[in-house]
């Protein structure tokens, strides 16, 4: 399995003959090395409805007939746009042909903003993702604050955890360090930082402070193999 990071919160997982994309914010993301009109995906997983996470989902999913897995309201909204969707909700899990997905809590907001009409469309509760493929578990926290039930995630024996560190909209480095301690993954990768000035952070300083987990600052396009 190949897991690559592509700036902001964009993660790609290649397992067998399947390619999974998480939160494909590509267009308008200067830190992303992918091109929205070229990237392939069989499955797109979304943590919530904010534009910097839904990103290029509609274009990519229509081009490849990708399955979009998302919280119920967001999945319904994207289904109305003609996408093939699988709705889920927090605490629920489902076995797909590529592996198992479970949605976890995330303390944040979730809405899709139409800049032209100045409408804010509610897209349900935000979520984190636990993805288990071939006995390996990846946790993508989405956008979240620190919350005490993160301690319960330790029982999933997470191999790689993608944790936001940007602060302002999500956990900052100090809270992300506590989250890493509670979850106790083998590897922690910081995400959701430096894309905008207000979330500027020193990711290397963050990983140096990790105690139990190995930390890895990933450049856009860099790969972890499990």
User: Can you tell me the distance from the alpha carbon of 216 to that of 207, in angstroms, rounded to the nearest whole number?
Assistant: 7
pLDDT at residue 68 in the model = 98
Confirm if 63 and 98 have CB atoms less than 8 A apart.
no
This prediction has a pTM of 0.97
Q: Which DSSP category does 154 fall into?
A: G
Domains and CATH numbers, the chain: 2-218 (3.60.15.10)
The predicted structure's pLDDT at residue 118:
94
Average pLDDT per block of 10 residues along the chain, 226 residues long = 98 97 96 95 98 97 97 98 98 98 98 92 97 98 98 98 98 98 98 97 98 96 96
Model pLDDT, residue 198? 98
- Amino acid 202: pLDDT: 98
Q: Say if CB 24 and CB 2 are below 8 A apart.
A: no
Q: What whole-number distance in Å separates Cα of residue 31 and Cα of residue 6?
A: 7
pLDDT of residue 191: 98
- pLDDT of amino acid 133: 98
């Amino acid at each position: 399995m190949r897991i690559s990071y592509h700036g902001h919160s964009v993660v790609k997982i290649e397992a067998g003959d399947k390619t999974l994309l998480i939160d494909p914010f590509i267009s308008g993301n200067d830190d992303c090395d992918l091109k929205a009109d070229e990237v392939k995906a069989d499955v797109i997983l979304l943590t919530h409805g904010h534009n910097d996470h839904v990103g290029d989902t509609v274009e990519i999913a229509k081009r490849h007939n990708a399955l979009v897995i998302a919280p119920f309201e967001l999945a319904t909204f994207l289904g109305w746009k003609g996408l093939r969707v699988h709705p889920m909700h927090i605490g629920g899990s489902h076995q797909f042909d590529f592996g198992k997905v479970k949605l976890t809590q995330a303390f944040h907001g979730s809405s899709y903003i139409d800049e032209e009409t100045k409408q804010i469309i509610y897209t349900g509760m935000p979520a984190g993702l636990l993805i288990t493929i071939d006995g390996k578990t990846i946790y993508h926290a989405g956008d979240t604050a620190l919350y005490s039930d993160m301690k319960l995630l330790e029982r999933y024996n997470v191999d790689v955890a993608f944790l936001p560190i940007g602060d302002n909209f999500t956990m900052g480095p100090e809270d992300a360090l506590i989250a890493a301690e509670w979850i106790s993954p083998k590897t922690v990768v910081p995400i959701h930082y430096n894309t905008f000035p207000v979330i500027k952070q020193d990711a290397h300083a963050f990983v140096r402070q990790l105690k139990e987990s190995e930390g890895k600052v990933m450049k856009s396009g860099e790969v972890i193999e499990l």
